[in-house]
Chain A
């Protein structure tokens, strides 16, 4: 379906999120929509999918203007949107989720729906179990089910909002294959992202949004030079490439030492870990979702007590001592879900510093506010000391969380430190983490993004099916080899070679 917008405008208070946009998207192609956080991508997509109504301008489906009253109306017209966090019902099975409030007449029976789902899954190359409960699946699998649901319910335009955030590299590859297939069948795919490489790999055209406007007006055919797109997205400021500074791997003292550690979390068991993690380097944990990275991070943060073995921090035995003792020993854990596990959304940065004061019954507000001011200036957080954390953007939340790490921290454990951040924010975060590393901190991070692992790690540890590989110096590793190891190819040989 051909889809076009004319002079589309959407304001939130004084902010003009979409400013007289005029674009069209041809059928049978994959269209990339690029822009940094807050550029207006999400607003445009929500307007197209009926979640928002425009203040001015109109949307044309196959050249006919149509006002959408809601997402159900949009799906009736043929527009389906896959959200970053799929809007499905986690307590349901895949089949129940498909049947729930499906348009009348689409599925005659449970059996018909199941057959349709399995046929489509086969055509798109998605493995699916109709009886599996969605909360047992990964985000990537839930996304596949959501795509199939929308297609089966009649979507001829598929909008994907940051679809590769939080899914594994393998799932991203299978997603891309499926999207090409969907476009080849004559449907329109809108691929919203801030990852240039993905847009370059997948899309036929690209539209760049900045401050609610299309720059330059209209679509660009792909390919385009990466630096040109970056300069469109960020103006001139964002175009500087990241600097990789290889560090001489001197024999630094270990921050953590694991001696014959066995730990279990849920169904995953880590057996007989013997590792030392040295100060002054960044260690990347690579692996498929749920291969043991999270368990290892929680073990090192003291949140998970080992069943057997000893955990030493800075030479002190802290086995089973609990997260408070680990924090006192200088270990900081930065969780992936910033607002659930990391910070308290309703409290401000000042409040967070006040929480860290610890001693005495009274709060020294002045000192806390001073600390918050310093953090804001030093980490370039776009906030006042009294803004609630929940009101900040993802990048600013992440910077705030980093700013709260005390200066004398010895080890930082970061789970997906740049999840959901745009390129500029991610670079800023990494600049900070590298500064910590240079100050003698050991930074261990997990990320599903292999490019991020390759770009920033001094050493890489591959996790495969609950087994933790030996640290490999970054210089000895190629992207292709890393991808193989994550899939288990040559993993045994690697472990044996070290043993």
Chain B
């Protein structure tokens, strides 16, 4: 029991950068823009955040710098795709490669240098609660933020008028335009806000989870976040669940390394990615129309609950995702 709590708390902590990045990506994709540069942005902002915090000695400045880098990369993506009408995926992919290489080039002086990190700040009183205390209230501010950002994003998208506009931007921008909203300006806003979150997620790696900076520091987590957002159906809670599942798989992999020392480390490092993609693909297969057709062959007694489950699992992409907006 004790060990389980410690493991679960470790999963919450390990997933914190993923969750923050995934919420940022969810926001911009809900508004119809794919920010494919996510992995590169995370690396560049992780490096920048660490460097700034190291030089100034101020953690807050490090996070602000990281957020600015994320916002800047998103703004460049917006300039090419939203203003100049180029393919979001092509520009995003090039930016991902560019930022990755920039991070290792510019970050060379900071590689493997000890630096500042976010302090452990258990919350008084609450951290003494049984079960909940060790699980939720003995962390640091970044992890608290990652726990709060999920309900915040869900509320923003589903509980506010701004959320209605954001979702409509991703579904049918022409309809939003017809209602008098400047589509391009709002898509920029959501893309840049999402980019800033991705930047903060990068700094959450270099200043908190994997303190310091090294070549390819985040080890491709950005790409898995992109997959999680897609298979999570662009819904904040499900996307967050995917991030926690991935962190759990990573924990299991690390454990198995000490238990089974014969397995090469490369396999241990890669296994969570493969397993995650497999899980996501299986969930999507279960929610597909093909599965629904198979269910129709079952006895009537099973049909209703199974179809209801499939309907709940099914996630359709925002209809205008990745498409340029043309005035009707």
Chain A interface: which of B50-58, B113-121, B175-183?
Answer: B175-183
Q: Please name all residues of chain B whose beta carbon is closer than 8 Å to the beta carbon of A176 when the two chains form the complex.
A: none
A170 at the interface (CB under 8 A from B): no
Q: Does A36 reach chain B (CB closer than 8 Å)? A: no
Q: Give the distance to chain A from B123, nearest Cβ to Cβ, in Å.
A: 35
Residue of A nearest to B316 (CB): A91
Q: Which residues of A contact B318 (CB under 8 A)?
A: 91
Interface check B174, CB cutoff 8 A: yes
Q: Which of A75, A76, A91 contacts B171 (CB 8 A)?
A: A91
CB contact list, A52-95 vs B, under 8 A: 70-73, 75-76, 81, 83, 87-92
Q: How far is the CA of A101 from the CA of B178 in the complex (A)?
A: 10
Instruction: Indicate if A452 sits at the interface (CB-CB under 8 A).
Output: no
Q: Is B314 interfacial (CB-CB < 8 Å)?
A: no
Find chain B residues with CB under 8 A from A89 CB: 167-168, 171-172, 175-176
In this assembly, does B164 line the interface, its C-beta being within 8 Å of a C-beta of chain A? yes
Among residues of B, the one whose C-beta sits closest to the C-beta of A107 is: B161
Contacts of B161 in A (CB 8 A): 99-102
Contacts of A81 in B (CB 8 A): 178
Report whether A75 and B319 are in contact in the complex, using a CB–CB cutoff of 8 Å.
no
The verdict on A51 contacting chain B, using a C-beta distance below 8 Å, is: yes
| Interface membership of chain B positions 157-174, coded 1 if the CB is closer than 8 angstroms to chain A and 0 otherwise | 000010011011001101
Write the nearest CB–CB distance from A145 to chain B, whole angstroms. 12
> Does A96 touch B at the CB level, under 8 Å?
yes
Contact of A87 among B165, B167, B172, B316 (CB under 8 A): B172
The reply to whether B171 and A92 contact each other, CB–CB distance below 8 Å, is yes
B328 contacts the other chain (CB 8 A): yes
Q: Given that A83-B328, A87-B328, A99-B161 are contacting pairs, would A92 and B168 also be in contact in the complex, using a CB cutoff of 8 Å?
A: yes
Q: Would you call A88 and B175 a contact (CB within 8 A)?
A: yes
Q: What is the CA–CA distance of A102 and B318 in the complex, to the nearest angstrom? A: 21
The residue among A76, A83, A100 with the most chain B CB atoms within 10 A of its own CB is A100
Counting residue pairs across A and B whose Cβ atoms lie within 8 Å, the total is: 65
Q: How far is the CA of A410 from the CA of B180 in the complex (A)?
A: 51
Given A91-B316, A99-B161; A70-B177 close (CB under 8 Å): yes
Nearest Cβ distance between residue A468 and chain B, in whole angstroms?
22
Contact B178 A71 (CB under 8 A): yes
| Cα separation A87 to B179 with both chains bound (whole Å) | 9
**Interface 0/1 of B179-211, CB less than 8 Å to A:** 111000000000000000000000000000000
Q: Is B312 an interface residue (CB 8 A)?
A: no
Contact A100 B179 (CB under 8 A): yes
Of all chain B residues, which has the CB nearest A71? B178
With a CB–CB cut-off of 8 A, which chain B residues contact A102? 161, 179
In angstroms, how far is the closest chain A Cβ from the Cβ of B64? 32
Which residues, 383 to 439 on A, are CB-close (under 8 Å) to B? Answer: none
Q: Provide the main secondary structure of the chain A interface.
A: loop
Tell me how far the C-beta of A85 lies from the nearest C-beta in chain B, rounded to whole angstroms.
Answer: 10
- Segment 276-328 of B: residues with Cβ below 8 Å from A: 316, 318-319, 327-328
Chain A nearest CB, measured from B160 CB (Å): 10
Query: Given A51-B328, A87-B172, A87-B328, is A71 in contact with B165 using a C-beta cutoff of 8 Å?
Result: no
Nearest Cβ in chain B — how far from A433, in angstroms? 32
Contact B164 A99 (CB under 8 A): yes
Q: How far is the CB of B216 from chain A (nearest CB, A)?
A: 38
* Nearest chain A CB to B175 CB, angstrom units: 5
Say whether, besides A73-B180, A87-B174, A87-B178, A101 and B164 are in contact (CB < 8 Å). Answer: yes
Which of A71, A92, A99 is in CB contact (< 8 Å) with B177?
Answer: A71
B-chain residues with CB within 8 Å of residue A92 when the two chains form the complex: 164, 167-168, 171
Q: Which of A70, A73, A88 contacts B172 (CB 8 A)?
A: A88
Q: Can you list, as one digit per residue, whether each of B93-112 has a CB less than 8 Å from chain A (1) or not (0)?
A: 00000000000000000000
> Do residues B171 and A101 form an inter-chain contact, with CB atoms below 8 A?
no
A33 to B168, CA, bound (A): 32
Q: Is the CB of B180 within 8 A of A76?
A: yes
Residues of B contacting A73 in the complex (Cβ-Cβ under 8 angstroms):
180
- Inter-chain CA distance A92–B171, complex, in Å, is 9
Q: Are A101 and B179 in contact, with the CB atoms below 8 A?
A: yes
Q: Which residue of A lies closest to B176 (CB)?
A: A101
Contact partners of B167 in chain A: CB under 8 A: 89, 91-92
Question: Given the complex of chains A and B, what is the CA–CA distance between A71 and B176 in angstroms?
Answer: 10
A96 touches B164 (CB 8 A): yes
B275 nearest CB across to chain A (Å): 31
A-contacting residues, B111-145, CB 8 Å: none
CB proximity to B under 8 Å, residues A80-131: 81, 83, 87-92, 96, 99-103
Q: Would B328 and A101 count as touching, CB distance under 8 A?
A: no
With A87-B328, A90-B319 given, is the CB distance from A101 to B172 under 8 Å? no
Chain A nearest CB, measured from B96 CB (Å): 29
Question: A88 — which chain B residues lie within 8 A by C-beta?
Answer: 172, 175
The answer to whether B179 touches A72 (Cβ under 8 A) is: yes
Listed A/B pairs (16) with beta-carbon separation below 8 Å:
A70-B177, A72-B180, A72-B181, A73-B180, A75-B179, A76-B180, A87-B175, A88-B172, A96-B164, A99-B164, A100-B161, A100-B168, A100-B179, A101-B161, A102-B161, A102-B179
Q: Which 6 A-B pairs have the closest CB atoms?
A: A72-B180, A101-B179, A100-B164, A87-B178, A87-B175, A71-B178
Other CB < 8 Å A-B pairs besides A76-B180, A100-B164, A100-B179, 13 of them? A51-B178, A75-B179, A75-B180, A89-B167, A89-B175, A90-B171, A90-B172, A91-B318, A92-B164, A100-B161, A101-B165, A101-B179, A103-B180
